[in-house]
Amino acid sequence: MRLDRRLILALDVVDPGRAMSVANAVRGEVDAIKVGWALFISGGRSVLRDLAKFGYLLADLRTAEIPNTTRLIVDQVAKMGASGIITQGFVGEDSVRAAVEAAGAAEVFVITEMSHPGGATFTALHAEEMATIAMRAGAAGIVAPATRPVRVKVLRSIVGSKLILAPGVGSQGGKASDAIAAGADAVIVGRSIYEAKDPGKAAREIAEEIRARA
């Protein structure tokens, strides 16, 4: 993943037409577009294929499965043109490894500690182990919480030069430049961009905030 803006759009809208118009509005302002289940369920494979034409498509059709099922799902996702794939870390090393193998040339990012308050209940307790598993399995990086920059810093010490993508900016209370200062390579931002009147401007402002402090 090439990170010029250090910003990834989480395109969590359900209408495929709106998805395309937001993607157009942020063209050149974000490094990647992340697509999750909601848009995939409503728009199917075609919306993913269309969005892949905008550049780096990060498929967040995350699996929490045994290795064989993980392999079957990730193989399908990779075939849809995703450049990156997100998977869960709590499933253990064998399932993460299966995701990395099935992804082929696509990069795999492993979720460690989740950004929402509930993420502190279970995922925070094992985040370091999940990051270690991700590294051993050959993942390109991890997902860590922008809502808790101190935890990003801890996880950075485990993943070395691999990538850390940090969601939880804006609507969830985190600040982009805090997450980057703590060691994240990029932030993942959804509502603060796609709900803005001018999504391109909103993205530009976040990238500028990051650049000003970097």
Which among 170, 153, 171, 152 has a CA at the least distance from the CA of 209?
Answer: 170
Specify the residue, 100 or 113, whose C-beta has the smaller distance to ligand BMP: 113
Residue with tokens 């289940």: 37
Q: Quote the least distance from Cβ 101 to ligand BMP, whole Å.
A: 22
Q: Quote the least distance from Cβ 107 to ligand BMP, whole Å.
A: 15
Q: Quote the least distance from Cβ 131 to ligand BMP, whole Å.
A: 13
The residue ranges that bind ligand BMP (CB under 6 A) are 10, 12, 36, 60, 111, 114-115, 119, 143, 145, 167-172, 188-192
Which among 57, 56, 60, 51 has a CA at the least distance from the CA of 23?
Answer: 51
Q: Quote the least distance from Cβ 6 to ligand BMP, whole Å.
A: 15
Quickly list DSSP for 157-186: HHHTTSEEEEE-BSTTSB-HHHHHHTT-SE
Specify the residue, 49 or 116, whose C-beta has the smaller distance to ligand BMP: 116
Specify the residue, 67 or 190, whose C-beta has the smaller distance to ligand BMP: 190
- Asked if residues 85 and 113 have their Cβ atoms less than 8 Å apart, the reply is no
Specify the residue, 64 or 68, whose C-beta has the smaller distance to ligand BMP: 64
Instruction: Locate 125 and state its tokens.
Output: 């307790």
Of all residues in the shown chain, the one whose CB is closest to ligand BMP is 190
Q: Quote the least distance from Cβ 47 to ligand BMP, whole Å.
A: 15
- Asked if residues 56 and 33 have their Cβ atoms less than 8 Å apart, the reply is yes
Specify the residue, 84 or 167, whose C-beta has the smaller distance to ligand BMP: 167
- Asked if residues 141 and 162 have their Cβ atoms less than 8 Å apart, the reply is yes
